[in-house]
Amino acid sequence: MRGLYGMGKQSPPRQLRSAREIAAMRNAGLVVWDTFKAVKPLVKPGVSTAEIDAVVREVFARNHAQPLFLNFPNSTEGGPPFPAATCISINAEVVHGIPSLRRKLAAGDIVSIDTGCKVNGWCGDAAFTFPVGEIDPVKQKLLAVTRGVLFLAIDLMGKKSRWSEVAAEMEKFVRDHRFSVVEDFVGHGIGRDMHEEPQVPNFVQRRAPRNADFRLEEGLVIAVEPMVNVGTKAVKTLSDQWTQVTKDGKPSAHFEHTIAITSEGPQVLTSSPSGELE
Ligand code: MG
């Protein structure tokens, strides 16, 4: 949950993490992973998004983890802080949907669940988009492409030398599938704080500041979070001052992992080694 440039508070300069620090972040990442294991069985018609949020809060409490999204400040002056531990965004909602007892999942929906926590001073952040019952072929393709572009990026983090090379491949991958990459929101460095430098765009920044690109080197820890739309890349904010929706009302998906570059290559900190939620 981060806007591109100028939104949110100033972050400290980016840091490289030691193996010990990455191991500490792994603990936070595994709690985030546990929340997804706990909520997956709830992703079915009739379940409210507030029920999903409640389960995530329970997992955090059980693990003495601090929810990072709860009370997160609004990027608009005077806007309300985020009122939940998860962002839950359905269909045309891109990111930052607010959980509600009135909002119930229905068959054919796709639902993005995004959450993060802090454990012993270190942060983890991840998002998955799940199908609710049977979904149409376009949504099936959207989930496959969005998850696919995240794992393409993870793989390329071990092969390319600069992030801009990864971002270019991500943009091309999505475009080749005739979908669009959201440009209003980007991934981020992560460590002691959820949002640190650098910003991690999922697209080529044609008007970026010269120092926006960064090297992919051992000790870098970033949250990579492509948001992919079936139609236009353009998004707008709903009147709740949080929820982002596609301007054309077409579906959007979002996948995210916290990833460290270690001596053995990129390591996903927010999943088990298999990466399977079952
Ligand atoms: Mg994030």
Rounded distance from Cα 125 to ligand 1 centre (Å): 6
2 CA distance to ligand 1 middle (Å): 7
**Residue 41 CA, ligand 1 centroid: distance in Å:** 23
At residue 3, the pLDDT reads 55
Distance (angstroms) between ligand 1 centre and the Cα of 188 equals 6
- The pLDDT value recorded for residue 40 is 97
Q: How far is the CA of 218 from the centre of ligand 1 (A)?
A: 21
pLDDT tens per residue across span 22-80? 999 999 999 999 999 999 999 999 999 999 999 999 999 999 999 999 999 999 989 99
| Contact status, residue 30 vs residue 95, Cβ threshold 8 Å | no
Q: How far is the CA of 40 from the centre of ligand 1 (A)?
A: 19
Confidence grade of residue 276 (pLDDT, cut at 50, 70, 90): confident
pLDDT at position 274 over 90: no
Retrieve residue 136's tokens. Answer: 């149409």
Q: In the predicted model, what is the mean pLDDT of the chain?
A: 94
Report how far ligand 1's centroid is from the alpha carbon of 225 (Å): 6
106: nearest Cα among 85, 84, 130, 137: 130
- At 10 the pLDDT is 47
CA of 190 to the centre of ligand 1 (A): 8
pLDDT at 54: 98
What's the CA angle centered on 182, arms 181 and 183, to 5 degrees? 110
Tell me the C-alpha distance between 212 and 128, whole Å: 27
Q: How many CA atoms lie within 13 A of 91 on its CB side?
A: 14
- Ligand 1 centroid to residue 115 C-alpha, Å: 8
**Distance of CA 122 from the midpoint of ligand 1 (Å):** 14
How close is the Cα of 136 to the center of ligand 1, in Å?
A: 27
Would you state the pLDDT for residue 209?
A: 77
Q: Are 230 and 250 in contact (CB under 8 A)?
A: yes
What type of residue is 32? V
**CATH T-level topology, domain 19-268:** Creatine Amidinohydrolase (3.90.230)
* Ligand 1 geometric centre to CA of 32 (Å): 12
AA identity, residue 203: F
Q: What distances in angstroms separate CA 149 from CA 74, 94, 230, 235, one per listed residue?
A: 28, 16, 14, 20
How many whole angstroms separate alpha carbon 218 and alpha carbon 60?
A: 29
- Gap from CA of 223 to ligand 1 centroid (Å): 6
